[in-house]
Amino acid sequence: MEIDFLAGLVAGLSSSAHCLAMCGGIAAVIALGAGGKETRAGLRASRLLQAQLARISLYLVLGVIAGAIGWGLQDSRPPAAFQDVARYLSALVLVAAGFSVMEIPIFGGEVGRLGARLAAPITKRLHHLHRFGPIGLGLVWGLMPCALIYLMTFYAGLTGSPVQGGLVMLGFGLGTVPALFALGLGAGALQRLARALWLRLLAGGALIGLAVWTVISHSM
């Protein structure tokens, strides 16, 4: 159970550069408010906190649902066989996430493009949630097309448990918070650090190392 949360957390922390590129503008808009003139740091932080909590809550729900689906699949076939397949698939998902963080296209970028096409009809119908303020925007934010979200949700399903699936996505959501908070509040130094090539390589390597550990730890 701990390794599932750790996998999600490492993936979230590792995705900082990716998050800044894809979601930085959203974080800034939420922090500034509808009029774009809000400057008080406390109010910006409050708006960001509400949106982040809504986004992470949505990830948690996705993880629980994915884990429940995985549990249903496991229950319908021999548990040992499912666990063996799930373990190796989980390792492959972490490797794919590591490549994504290092900006090495996965399957030529088709994963992200396919996810964007599937999510587009949903996000178009959710634009009205901005009326609910930062919380509504946070829910829309959580459904933005993102290859890493798809990969980690799939990983959550492979746990075969709603609880463990939820922990994966909770860890992932929490891991993405520091970089996005920094961007929304204008912390330029942390933004530049998150974009550094060496850090992306280190983060991607950490995910690949975790994938190796996922396989080794179960064979001991």
Give the pLDDT band (50/70/90) at residue 66: very high
Model pLDDT, residue 77 = 59
Model pLDDT, residue 168 = 94
Q: How many CB atoms lie within 10 A of CB 147?
A: 25
23, 142 Cβ separation under 8 angstroms = no
Amino acid (one-letter) located at 6: L
Residue from 182, 207, 151 nearest 9 by CA: 207
Q: Which residue has the higher pLDDT, 209 or 17?
A: 209
**pLDDT tens-digit readout, 183-194:** 666 655 555 666
**pLDDT tens-digit readout, 73-125:** 776 655 666 677 778 888 888 888 888 778 776 655 555 566 556 555 655 55
Mean pLDDT of the chain: 76
Give the pLDDT band (50/70/90) at residue 60: very high
Q: How far is CA 48 from CA 33, 45, 81, 88, 98, in A?
A: 10, 5, 43, 37, 27
Q: How many CB atoms lie within 10 A of CB 216?
A: 10
Cα 220 to Cα 207: distance, rounded to the nearest angstrom: 20
Amino acid (one-letter) located at 218: H
Please tell me which of 31-40, 93-102, 160-169 the model is most confident about, judged by mean pLDDT: 160-169
pTM, two decimals, is 0.78
